[in-house]
Amino acid sequence: MKIHEYQAKELFKEAGVAVPDGVATSSVEEAVKAAEEMKANGTNLFVVKAQIHAGGRGKGRTKKNNAKGVILCRSIDEVREAAESLLGDTLVTIQTGEEGQEVKTIYVTDGVDIEKEFYLGILLDRANSQNVIMVSTEGGVEIEKVAEETPEKIVKEWVEPGMELFPSQARRLAFALGFEGAAFKKAVKFIMALYNFYVDTDANMVEINPLVLTTDDDVMALDAKVTFDGNALYRHKDIVELRDTSEENPIELEASKFDLNYIKLDGNVGCMVNGAGLAMATMDIIKLSGGEPANFLDVGGGANVETVKNGFRIILDDKNVKAILINIFGGIVRCDRVANGVIEAVKDPEIADKVKNVPIIVRLQGTNAEEAKEIIDNSDLNVISAVLLKEAAEEVSKVLAA
């Protein structure tokens, strides 16, 4: 689960991770009021930042007003202008895709005099089964680019899950970034507090780009990208409340309501599969047969009429879908039951109307597979049966060529 920058920074503050002050709002007047209060406290530089679940805002532009997603302001009037130009407009960044994301909230925050920008990321290193803290002196730049071109500029420390980060490790990281004196101590404290935050909140990833050294020798996070492990959210009621479903893909959201694991892709062959591994293999086979998967969809172990119906609804919501490949392994759930489920689902008037021009290829393997094939072959619906995955793939390419 993703959250907004301003939400991450509020959590950081509670966890003792240094951030500039700021106020999130969806009204121009409140933005101005916040800036006035900040000015009364001695601030002369403000930054107005679009709050969307995507990065690259600083280099992004809004569609209508051509405004940047991160705007430096030197006066209250400039804050007003920035707020007006962002709120309600659609911001396009390299991470949003062409359609962009509507800016519903902005964050008015203290502008910081930056001495130097750094990168800091914490995530699970799957290859080592350990948490990894990565830092780089190349802050403010895309870290993927640094990793590719100058990997030696990324310094890492690993921590065994369940163990704590040693202060000596945080010191090594702060040293690698070139911190000295008072700033060095602040950097060590920052890294320790941030690692504890990552563990305590069951975060998947914490990315600070940039982490900065200010001209006053302070160390703080100017940006904050945090995602949480969905499977651990039941332990964090307060974090669940930060979820902003309006930022999520509507079809994926709908799927999650039915406990279906759906991810939209760009191809034209819809897939309905039980089991994540089989779903991956099915997507590979579709590619081999010349098609492109329109989605990943794992319907889980049950595969009953209801799940199949919901699966169809979700797949068919995507107008690119030209064919649907159902690939179910009947282990606990018998294939004949799945076959009947598919037929019943396709007869549902709402689905029947949508699948008129979308051939369905069904491959059922496992318990009672033969009976299942017979059931499908004897139905008068637009459903093609296959026994082998290869055959199913051939049927898909025939259908696509037709």
Q: How far is the CB of 117 from ligand ADP (least distance, A)?
A: 6
User: Which runs of E-coded beta strand occur in 46-191?
Assistant: 46-50, 61-62, 70-73, 90-92, 101-102, 106-110, 114-125, 130-136, 154-159
Pick the closer one to ligand ADP by CB: 114 or 278: 114
Residues contacting 20, CB < 8 A, separation 6+: 109, 110, 111, 112, 220, 222
Closest CA to 359 of 270, 281, 283, 274: 270
Residue from 7, 9, 20, 51 touching ligand ADP (CB under 6 A): that is 20
Q: How far is the CB of 245 from Mg ion (least distance, A)?
A: 23
Integer Cα distance of 65 and 91 in angstroms:
10
Q: Which stretch binds Mg ion (CB under 5 A): 37-45, 154-162, 221-229, 335-343?
A: 221-229
Residue 332, marked binder = yes
- 57 contacts ligand ADP (rule: CB under 6 A): yes
Q: Judge whether 234 counts as a catalytic residue.
A: no
Q: H or E element: which one contains 297?
A: strand 295-298
Residue from 85, 96, 109, 310 touching ligand ADP (CB under 6 A): that is 109
String marking each residue 120-149 x if it binds ligand ADP according to CB under 6 A: --------------------x---------
Q: Judge whether 119 counts as a catalytic residue.
A: yes
Strand order in the sheet with 261-264: 261-264, 295-298, 269-273, 323-330, 360-366, 383-386
Integer Cα distance of 333 and 315 in angstroms:
22
Q: H or E element: which one contains 363?
A: strand 360-366
Residues 215-274 that bind ligand ADP (CB under 6 A): 222-223
Q: 20 contacts which partner out of Mg ion, ligand ADP, none, CB within 5 to 8 A by kind?
A: ligand ADP
- 223 contacts Mg ion (rule: CB under 5 A): yes
Q: At what angle do helices 181-200 and 5-14 cross, to 10 degrees?
A: 100
Integer Cα distance of 244 and 1 in angstroms:
9
CA angle 296, 300, 257 (to 5 degrees): 75
- 210 contacts ligand ADP (rule: CB under 6 A): yes
Q: Which of 119, 195, 198, 262 is catalytic?
A: 119
For residue 382, what is the DSSP state?
S
Pick the closer one to ligand ADP by CB: 90 or 379: 90
Residues contacting 355, CB < 8 A, separation 6+: 312, 316, 324, 346, 382
Q: 222 contacts which partner out of ligand ADP, Mg ion, none, CB within 5 to 8 A by kind?
A: ligand ADP
Residue 58, marked binder = yes
Q: How far is the CB of 176 from Mg ion (least distance, A)?
A: 20
Q: H or E element: which one contains 298?
A: strand 295-298
User: Could you write out the DSSP letters of every residue in 230-253?
Assistant: GGGGGG-HHHHTT--GGGS-HHHH
Q: 204 contacts which partner out of ligand ADP, Mg ion, none, CB within 5 to 8 A by kind?
A: none
Residue 49, marked binder = yes
Residues contacting 220, CB < 8 A, separation 6+: 18, 19, 20, 112, 190, 211, 212, 214
Q: 292 contacts which partner out of ligand ADP, Mg ion, none, CB within 5 to 8 A by kind?
A: none
Residue from 2, 18, 32, 55 touching ligand ADP (CB under 6 A): that is 55
Q: How many chain residues are in contact with ligand ADP, going by CB under 6 A?
A: 18
Residues 348-387 that bind Mg ion (CB under 5 A): none
Q: How far is the CB of 34 from ligand ADP (least distance, A)?
A: 13
Instruction: Read off the amino acid at residue 85.
Output: S
**Cβ distance 73 to 106 under 8 Å?**
no
Q: Which stretch binds Mg ion (CB under 5 A): 159-167, 217-225, 287-295, 342-350?
A: 217-225
Q: How many chain residues are in contact with Mg ion, going by CB under 5 A?
A: 2
Per-residue tokens: 214: 């200010």
- 100 contacts ligand ADP (rule: CB under 6 A): no
Cβ-proximal residue to Mg ion, closest one: 223
Q: Which of 5, 138, 207, 395 is catalytic?
A: 207
Interface residues with ligand ADP (CB under 6 A) are: 20, 47, 55-58, 70, 109-112, 114, 117, 140, 209-210, 222-223
Query: Which residues are at the interface with Mg ion (CB under 5 A)?
Result: 209, 223
Q: Which residues are the active-site residues?
A: 119, 207
Residue list, annotated binding site? 49, 56-58, 112, 117, 209, 223, 274, 331-333
